[in-house]
Amino acid sequence: MIMEFLRNNKIAAGILTILRVYLGWQWLSAGWGKAFGEEPFNAAGYLNGVVANEAVAAQYPTYHAFIENIALPNAGVFSFMVAWGEVLVGLGLLLGVLTTAAAFFGIMMNFAFLFAGTISSNPWMVLITIFILAAGYNAGRIGGDRWVIPYIRTVIFKNKFTTAKEAA
């Protein structure tokens, strides 16, 4: 019953739009200064803090090893991915374009920050994102997904599968 409401109800679409725009603004404002600031964003300090955090090492040893052995040596790549990931997730949610994909990548970043020991607004953002993911298309119905998703379904996938059938 709740899933039916979230996925198909127009009132739910309106509520989800408000939540989506709020969440999108949070992501965009977090990433804007990192991507377009005067100083280039460098996550090395944050990553060093994660490696030094004994609670992270004790609770999430695999994640700690990932940060220490992969993320920290490639801090420049991770800095770029975080800055632009936050901006793109924010834009996707604000505009309602590829909403489910934007929400998915946003929740993945939130969990990465939570595993690193950062709390701040991440739990609230995860909770809101769960509703957006559960709602699927309805979360972006009042937004760009109203036009983008039908285009993807009919033009891109139809042509791809039609061509594959004709070739067989």
pLDDT tens, residue by residue, 128-148: 999 999 999 999 999 999 999
pLDDT of the residue at 161: 61
pLDDT digits (tens, 9 = 90+) for 20-67: 999 999 999 999 999 999 999 999 999 999 999 999 999 999 999 999
Rounded CA-CA distance 96/88 in Å is 12
pTM (2 decimals)?
A: 0.88
Cβ-Cβ contacts under 8 Å for 150 (sequence gap 6 or more):
none
* List of residues 6+ apart from 89 with CB closer than 8 A: 24, 27, 31, 102, 103, 105, 106, 109
For 141, which DSSP code? T
